[in-house]
Amino acid sequence: MNQNRLFHLTRWRLAAWYAVVMGFILGLCGLGVYQAIVHAHWQTLDRELESVAGTLHDSIENTLKQPGRLEPTTQQLLPEEREKRHILGAIHQGDYYVRLLDNSNQIVTLAGFQPQELRLISKKGTWQTLKDAQGSRYHQISLSLHTQNNISWGSMQMGRSLQDIDNYLANVKLILLLGLPIAMILVGASSWWLSGLAMQPIYQSYQQIQQFTADAAHELRTPLAATQATIESALRLYSFTSETQDIFSAIERQNRRLTQLVTDLLLLARMEKQPLSVQNRCCLNDLVSDLVEELASLAMPAAGCAYASHIQLTSKFKLDKPLTVLGNESQLYQVVSNLIINAIQSTPKGGRVTVTLERNHNYAVINIQDTGIGIDASEQKRIFERFYRVNSDRSRNTGGSGLGLAIASVIVQAHKGSLQVQSQLGKGSTFTVRLPLATNIFHKDDNKGEAR
């Protein structure tokens, strides 16, 4: 994967994780706040009801003489209509009701606000939450009543409507629910900003490493070129013993390999900094035929060829007209040549390497298919990593450094295409390069809007 895309993707992932974690914490906080508000309301309500009911209960008990019978003095203590002020200030304010029940649980008298069809609950001294016919909720306390002679008289129930509290809590819930998406948007934006801050030092240090690689590769090029020229002219101008000649040839070979490695590193570093510099029309038919012709000598048996022989290298064009893409011809040349050389080097004697070029919708598709050793499924993703080699010893023998596919993949991505592999161990591999056709790419300075 292109390193810049990797950084971008990592930033997205980091931001998403920040947002999920922060969202979870915020959600929990919201729930906690809501629960705390509910709890505080219930506590206040219970305390208020308990205190009002307790005071009324004590006053009523002082007036009771016979079980189940209501004395006129008792009647005076009970709140009447809602509008009238009662000695127990709170009663006239809310929707309070009082019910006196005898020992057989029959209502002796009702006072205060009268909820409709509210069930009678006989349990004494306990808290109850009830619903009336309209579904409104009430909170009630039941206290047992005794006469002045301490004979059981019955019980007193005092309750209060929960309408105002329920409305308030519904509003709090709505505010929290509406606030959550707004909070999540803010969390998302701040997560993106924070992940950018977190990635900045990593990105900067990566850029420094990249710059160092590019500078080092650039600096190494001159002495390497000088060494190469010196060895070549020494070999040409002087006559050495065969042993010395062999030593010089080995130095020259290794120097060429080193030069190639430095060139590859420089190309990778440059492509990351400045993805695609030159863009020209490039005919893929010509490119593929030239390469197949050029590399035929590598596939054919030839004296001095270390790795491949007797390999049938062919090309097939499944098209009626040439395919043209927009890009850097020498870079595309390098991609296809790397893939064909890899295929030849991975195919044993008598095998076949076929290069096909076809059109698939708006893409040119180049398949490099071989009947070679294949690549294990676990290795198929890793082969595009830098310096990764499936079999280091074999790759070293063929002169590979493990950069070929990394470079190919960076170049193809810079051309807005893709590079994929399909392979079966022992049966062969197919590398597929997909490149957008030139007709689909519009130049931004092309004011006629003509496809180029």
CA 71 to chain CA mean position, Å:
76
Query: Which residues, including other chains, have CB under 8 Å from residue 389's CB and lie 6 or more apart?
Result: 395, 396, 400, 402
The strands making up 418-424's β-sheet, listed across from edge to edge, are 312-318, 352-360, 363-370, 428-436, 418-424
CB atoms < 10 A from the CB of 199, how many? Answer: 17
Which residues share a beta bridge with 141?
Answer: 127, 158
CB of 380 to ligand ADP, least distance (A): 9
CB closer to ligand ADP out of 155 and 429: 429
CB of 351 to ligand ADP, least distance (A): 11
Binding mask 350-389 toward ligand ADP (x if CB under 6 A, else -) reads --------------------x-xx-x-------x----xx
CB of 280 to ligand ADP, least distance (A): 26
By CB under 6 A, tell whether 282 contacts ligand ADP. no
Helix (H) or strand (E) holding 51: helix 3-61
Cα–Cα distance, 235 to 256 (Å, whole number): 15
Output the six-digit token pair for 242: 């065969």
CB 60 within 8 A of CB 143: no
Contact segment (CB under 6 A) with ligand ADP among 2-10, 48-56, 287-295, 402-410 equals 402-410
CB of 292 to ligand ADP, least distance (A): 16
Cα–Cα distance, 425 to 273 (Å, whole number): 36
254 by DSSP, 3-state: which?
Answer: helix
By CB under 6 A, tell whether 346 contacts ligand ADP. yes
Binding mask 422-441 toward ligand ADP (x if CB under 6 A, else -) reads -------x------------
Nearest CA among 268, 304, 306, 239 for reference residue 384: 268
Query: What residue spans of 238-391 are helical by DSSP H?
Result: 242-273, 284-299, 329-345
Contact segment (CB under 6 A) with ligand ADP among 9-17, 30-38, 88-96, 336-344 equals 336-344
Binding mask 26-65 toward ligand ADP (x if CB under 6 A, else -) reads ----------------------------------------
CB of 399 to ligand ADP, least distance (A): 8
Output the six-digit token pair for 189: 């934006």
Output the six-digit token pair for 328: 């850097």
CB closer to ligand ADP out of 214 and 403: 403
CB of 378 to ligand ADP, least distance (A): 13
By CB under 6 A, tell whether 401 contacts ligand ADP. yes
By CB under 6 A, tell whether 334 contacts ligand ADP. no
Q: Which residue is nearest to ligand ADP (CB)?
A: 400
Nearest CA among 348, 343, 340, 354 for reference residue 291: 340
Among 404, 410, 419, 438, binds ligand ADP (CB under 6 A): 404
Q: For 444, which DSSP code?
A: T
CB closer to ligand ADP out of 100 and 308: 308
Binding mask 262-281 toward ligand ADP (x if CB under 6 A, else -) reads --------------------
CB closer to ligand ADP out of 112 and 372: 372
Cα–Cα distance, 212 to 205 (Å, whole number): 10
Nearest CA among 408, 257, 384 for reference residue 332: 408
186 by DSSP, 3-state: which?
Answer: helix
Output the six-digit token pair for 153: 């008289």
By CB under 6 A, tell whether 313 contacts ligand ADP. no
CB of 354 to ligand ADP, least distance (A): 12
CB of 204 to ligand ADP, least distance (A): 28
Block residue for tokens 């506590």: 43
CB of 395 to ligand ADP, least distance (A): 4
Kindly identify the residues of this chain, within the stretch 78-97, that bind ligand ADP according to CB under 6 A. none
Which residues of this protein are in contact with ligand ADP, per CB under 6 A? Answer: 338, 342-343, 346, 370, 372-373, 375, 383, 388-391, 395, 400-406, 429
